[in-house]
Structure 1
């Protein structure tokens, strides 16, 4: 190797002497001709003034990714990507300031000690290729924004609902408190209006149902009422338009499709030991007999009304291979309630007191079906034991708690509520546009999601419009989604198929909810396409493939 290096170095002076300056210029020009630099991009704003763009939204707007707000995520927020395209020569965009978090990993939790601000704090997730799952990095508690709050453009606040944009109490949210102009007094909407925006993007409403969904449907109080949703939306959008700004409002995507609800299958209980299968089935024989007993009692007494189909849906039986998760379902009649079905069996001497006691955990339980959606966090609980008991296994012998799985009835609640919110968004935008010369461009993200998740036209229509045409706006959205639903998993971008997950070629970050930079780029392009079509603009699109996907580690 040393001799080869010496030989190459020895030729260098000869090369310098042999080639004249003119010959060198010819070679350089030949290289330039073969590899021309791309021409500088230019664009046109159409009828929109992009000189002071502000974005109002939640974590999607803030650049929250991988379960944390961190610097690279902020840099790749869809508003920041948009602002970069607006700043291209001819488009007329100005500077775009974000409340920088100044943290490589951000903060996702307090760590094992449960105390924020200590050395074991957790940061953003990354995909462990060795473990095939997201794992946290070391994190740090967010600090106050040190820049000029009066010059901010991105007003994205993780966790913010539609009603929170007008609420001074949002200062209780750390992410807003760190850049609020007057914590406890100011509001996100007021701070945004104080900058005199000429153009805005507004994407709120996801959190008005998402909190309920990610919590497995256990807390209905997390759902914003439709009247409150509509009132806050009208006030916010009305104030923005009255300030003279034009803007974009985005619809809410079909969130039950998110990887957060799809990464863990309903039949996530593996069995490869026949002796264990036999032991479990013997243990559940008493429950199954009791359920059949209730069917028999129903035929003879008006006190009980249990059909064979209902009893069969609650029975537990294991087999080799993949088995359904044993889960709680609060939509079921609670057979364990005082004076309930199990107590009636005891009163009729059809079961013993010991058998009655053994039935107590299964008053509202059943094996999951493909219509149920386990949450991503359920993976950390399923298969673990309760109180160290080897026979009390969550999802196997102990029903998985309601907050771990979005049941079929709760899925319907999410789908229906989101549709109601989208109809409200469309109605409010139409009403404002009728009085303000179409100042707002409504960007429907749902067709892109239908394409990304490989939906059939029929499923796309149902998820977007479960009312089956009762609302004209929803019907139009459903038709657009069905038209773009090709049944092929993934979305084609510049010849590459990007997947609806957090794998290396996916468009979601490792928290299963928020997009990664490529996903953010796709969202930005939906907005750009809409502006180019409806506002006479010519804004160059974001190069999605040039953006990164997820962050992975070999550990």
Structure 2
């Protein structure tokens, strides 16, 4: 027994010694990270130019903590580790967001969004005491500012003189931007001029998104057209040639595919559930109404037939301006139908109302169809679908409809086709895609010609939408609220999303200028950045 015990302890000692030696060898084999180097880049005076994506805009507004976690500010914090200087921003006064002008709310510039458990709502819905205090007349900060990101700016706006002139906000159309009013060195200056006045040694430029985004978020209704190619080319090439004066180095990013963002992918094309007590019981009546129109649709174009399912989710009804307008055909066919007066009688309408109702139905459904999976709906449409359009009700009542019947014919996306501004049809998406590709070709060529670092933001955001983007221990996706990358407006990034994008910029800078932010372990840890901010933060 003694001998056996001795051998057992000897064996245990050998195993222990071997394990310790193995651990020591493993420890010795771990190579220390290299020392951080900036390579050939000079970050001593870093200036960032762009729009809302570089300003730190998030959750539908510009607010202080989001600015402090803007993508350029995150970059500057890493640049500071290797000679980068101070980085100043035109911080807002609060974490509510929104703008005032002389104490009055500036229309269209409301407070930030928060999540109420069901969807995005203004912070004031959950925190009535939240107050906007950033006033573009009374309390503007003093520059110069290293972050020259101006929310809403298009490519050519960065060149425009007087873009910070207060009176220009009230011109028609406006010639100024309220965010630049806050930060301009003078009323006559331009964004580019204020950037160059700082003699930057390194710059980042991420501009052009709004040149297509304005068209997209307005549903392609024509109120905010895509920038023409010649204007974009001139503006972008002028920006690059000016910023690289004297051989200044920098990094540029291209334009993301806006249609891949949750602003356009969250609202389904078929949100009408038969289980919805406000919709389900109406389905038989709706199918009876559209039953009077469907024979006409079938004769002209079977794809226009409108039928609501009593068992499955149904698509909304939209106006598709790419369709031939058959208003006249509908009106004529209904007026010629011997059964149309009897059809109207079911709704309490006399035969004398037939011409009026036929004309209304013709105008309402002349370019209508039910949506398909190829249609994309802007995020705000979720608050509109299924609601009563009061303007439509008033107009129908003037034509002799009772209030109840007028309301029945004024349900958005059901009996009243959704207007163009709420949906991007395939032809509009094709316009956006073509413009994005063309603009990105200009950006790529300019980056190549000036030998600048280049970030393929389009590919990165497409990756987010398709499979997710891994950054550190996290995989970000494009899902609204839960994905971590996109803020509650569905277009702009969260602070964590901006941190992940900053890492992509750093990787591109490494590749071009032989810096080693990634290899030396100096990418940022995105876990240190929020994906949302509470309604109590103000």
The separation in 2 between residues aligned to 1:41 and 1:143, in whole angstroms, is 47
- Does 2:223 align with 1:245? no
Can you list the C-alpha shifts for 1:242-285, whole angstroms capped at 9, x where unaligned?
14421111011111011111111111122226642111100111
Residue from 157, 165, 168 that aligns with 2:158:
165
Asked if the contact 1:508–1:514 (Cα under 8 Å) also holds between the matched residues in 2, the reply is: yes
The equivalent residue for 2:486 is 508
Secondary structure at the counterpart of residue 373 of structure 2: coil
The separation in 1 between residues aligned to 2:233 and 2:418, in whole angstroms, is 36
The separation in 1 between residues aligned to 2:505 and 2:267, in whole angstroms, is 32
- Does 2:430 align with 1:415? no
The separation in 2 between residues aligned to 1:512 and 1:122, in whole angstroms, is 16
Residue from 322, 328, 331 that aligns with 2:313:
322
The separation in 2 between residues aligned to 1:98 and 1:215, in whole angstroms, is 30
Distance 1:277 1:348, change over 3 A: closer
- Does 2:389 align with 1:399? no
Asked if the contact 1:493–1:545 (Cα under 8 Å) also holds between the matched residues in 2, the reply is: no
Distance 1:257 1:242, change over 3 A: same
- Does 2:533 align with 1:551? yes
- Does 2:274 align with 1:285? no
- Does 2:266 align with 1:263? yes
Asked if the contact 2:214–2:224 (Cα under 8 Å) also holds between the matched residues in 1, the reply is: no
The equivalent residue for 2:384 is 381
Distance 1:109 1:420, change over 3 A: farther
The equivalent residue for 2:16 is none
Secondary structure at the counterpart of residue 497 of structure 1: strand
Shift of 1:398: 0.5
Secondary structure at the counterpart of residue 178 of structure 1: helix
Shift of 1:512: 0.7
**1:135-284 correspondence runs (5 A):** 135-137=122-124, 138-140=130-132, 142-144=134-136, 146-150=140-144, 152-171=145-164, 172-183=176-187, 185-219=188-222, 221-272=224-275, 275-284=281-290
The separation in 2 between residues aligned to 1:347 and 1:127, in whole angstroms, is 50
The separation in 2 between residues aligned to 1:253 and 1:45, in whole angstroms, is 28
Aligned residues: 448
Residue from 73, 77, 97 that aligns with 1:106:
97
Asked if the contact 1:343–1:356 (Cα under 8 Å) also holds between the matched residues in 2, the reply is: yes
Distance 1:445 1:220, change over 3 A: same
The separation in 1 between residues aligned to 2:79 and 2:334, in whole angstroms, is 72
- Does 2:472 align with 1:494? yes
The equivalent residue for 2:54 is 61
The separation in 1 between residues aligned to 2:511 and 2:122, in whole angstroms, is 42
Secondary structure at the counterpart of residue 323 of structure 1: coil
TM-score, normalising length: structure 2? 0.78
The separation in 2 between residues aligned to 1:231 and 1:167, in whole angstroms, is 13
Secondary structure at the counterpart of residue 322 of structure 1: coil
Distance 1:224 1:523, change over 3 A: same
Can you list the C-alpha shifts for 1:205-261, whole angstroms capped at 9, x where unaligned?
000010000000101652110000000111111011114421111011111011111
**1:19-38 correspondence runs (5 A):** none
Structure 1 unaligned spans of 5+: 1-38, 296-305, 455-487
TM-score, normalising length: structure 1? 0.76
Residue from 449, 465, 474 that aligns with 1:453:
465
Secondary structure at the counterpart of residue 56 of structure 1: strand
The equivalent residue for 1:532 is 510
Distance 1:265 1:507, change over 3 A: same
Can you list the C-alpha shifts for 1:470-524, whole angstroms capped at 9, x where unaligned?
xxxxxxxxxxxxxxxxxx3x22222322221332452111111100011101110
Distance 1:149 1:243, change over 3 A: farther
Shift of 1:290: 1.8
Can you list the C-alpha shifts for 1:345-380, whole angstroms capped at 9, x where unaligned?
468768773535433200111111111111111112
Distance 1:108 1:265, change over 3 A: farther
Residue from 499, 523, 526 that aligns with 1:541:
523
Distance 1:40 1:424, change over 3 A: closer
The separation in 2 between residues aligned to 1:241 and 1:525, in whole angstroms, is 23
Shift of 1:445: 1.6
The separation in 1 between residues aligned to 2:309 and 2:263, in whole angstroms, is 27
Distance 1:48 1:167, change over 3 A: same
Distance 1:107 1:221, change over 3 A: closer
Secondary structure at the counterpart of residue 183 of structure 2: coil
Distance 1:123 1:390, change over 3 A: same
